[in-house]
Amino acid sequence: MYEMRAEQDPASDESVLVWHIVSKETPTTLCGRAQLLLLVAADEGDQGGQRFCPPCLTAFEQVMTAAR
């Protein structure tokens, strides 16, 4: 099972969130970031700009394709 977690984007101002995909079986995101760095609660995601992590989306697509 997977879930989305957001962190503040370190490459832009602090109001922009980057959403990552996290597997509940591993302690990291699909792009390799440690879950401990993901400090933003999902309900705080309405305050500024948002984007999705491209490496996480690519890895998720590969996982779903392999599961078919």
In this predicted structure, what is the pLDDT of residue 45? 47
Q: What is the distance between the alpha carbons of residues 45 and 2, in angstroms, rounded to a whole number?
A: 18
Q: What is the distance between the alpha carbons of residues 22 and 11, in angstroms, rounded to a whole number?
A: 21
C-beta separation of 44 from 8 below 8 A:
no
Half-sphere exposure of 64 (CA within 13 A, CB side): 10
Q: In this predicted model, what pLDDT tens digit does every residue of 10-32 receive, in sequence order?
A: 777 667 888 899 988 887 899 98
pTM of the shown model: 0.72
